[in-house]
Amino acid sequence: MAYDETEIESKGGIKGFIKKNLVMLAALTAAAVTSIFVPIDAEYKGYFDFKTLTCLFCVLAVVCALKNINFFYILAEKVVKKFKTARMSVLALVYITFIGSMLIANDMALITFLPLGYFVLTSTGKEKYMAFTFVMQNIAANLGGMLTPFGNPQNLYLYTKYNIPVFEFLGIMIVPFLISVFLITLCCIIFVKPEELCFQGEELSFDRNRAFVYLVLFVLAIAIVFRGIPYPAGLAVIPAVIFIMDKKALKKVDYPLLMTFVFFFIFAGNMARIGPVRDFFSACMEKSTLLFSTLSCQVISNVPSAILLSQFTDNYRDLLVGVNIGGVGTLVASLASLITFREYIKHNPEKTGHYLAVFSAFNFSFLAILLITMTIMKI
């Protein structure tokens, strides 16, 4: 009998839809409100990062296809058998996400490895660590990606805009990166007990031919990130192949998440065009680029903060650090955090408050430690 992930049924009609899509509706509201101040015009086209949306859709589709052949379930079984305890398995999941974010960008790393975390914990009866593990994977994705120019979208933008040499870029980010590695490791050791894991699922196999094709498609999706192939070509090929091999995978794509990104792009784009907002940020940047770039991420997210604030400073070192460590904190500090939140409440809609409490406690702690440390190092 094949493992089939239980789908969360929405109850209560409109009320169920609202509860399941709170983040998307909040983004829609923010986009609509700012559109009052910035009426729709030709400049709206420039708000959207179509490459990011294409990558997101393609990876979501491939992940759904891999789920349908039990790929993550079987991979979870191998992780449990290899690492044997809850602590080591959680550390493995977090480190995989950490490394993945450096190579394939933070949002793609989360889309890829959050399902693996879910399967590891549910198949061993350790759901009590679900919120903590998701939060640590989220922090690892946001902070792990800071080390490379392509690890986070804001890095790629700033790296290109200021023409930063590669080794200088690494030199700027190595200290906050190492601090992040230490803090994440310490948290996993303290908050996850070395409990022995026992795999409670069925012994399953998967279609290796399909898995091979899907993994090739996944590589193609990542190639879009590295500009190895044009994103229109990837958008044409990847969904077409999946449609032929597994139509159900395309139906299971998290389309509300895609719309959340669309609405958030509109909100961020409008904010950057509101005069008082621009004047406020200009004045703030003159006082402390590091502090205010970090704080701005908490309100309008790190990518739009990088784009907006780069118009007002040549201090790219502090700006680069600020928009990276600023990715932790509030739920909107990084768009990648919305991916984690959506994935968690999809499986645990009744524990939204619990997740937000755990998320806030760890994220703001990391933010405070990193900001204080980097500020002291500047003195």
Collect the ranges in the chain with pLDDT lower than 70: 1-12, 19-20, 76, 103-105, 150, 199-204, 225-227, 379
Q: Which residue has the tokens 């969360």?
A: 8
Instruction: Tell me the C-alpha distance between 256 and 25, whole Å.
Output: 9
pLDDT reported for residue 12: 52
- Check: CB of residue 58 under 8 Å from CB of residue 221: yes
Q: Which residue has the tokens 């789908």?
A: 7
pLDDT reported for residue 191: 96
For the chain, which residues make up each domain, given as ranges? 14-40+70-205+254-378
**DSSP structure class, residue 192:** S
What is the SS3 string spanning 251-299?
A: HCCCHHHHHHHHHHHHHHHHHHHCHHHHHHHHHHHHHCHHHHHHHHHHH
Q: Which residue has the tokens 């409109």?
A: 14
Instruction: Tell me the C-alpha distance between 353 and 49, whole Å.
Output: 31
Instruction: Tell me the C-alpha distance between 5 and 146, whole Å.
Output: 33
Per residue in 128-168, pLDDT (tens digit) is 999 999 999 999 999 988 988 867 778 877 887 888 888 99
DSSP string, 45-66: GGG--HHHHHHHHHHHHHHHHH
Tokens of 200: 């409670």
pLDDT reported for residue 8: 40
pLDDT reported for residue 201: 58
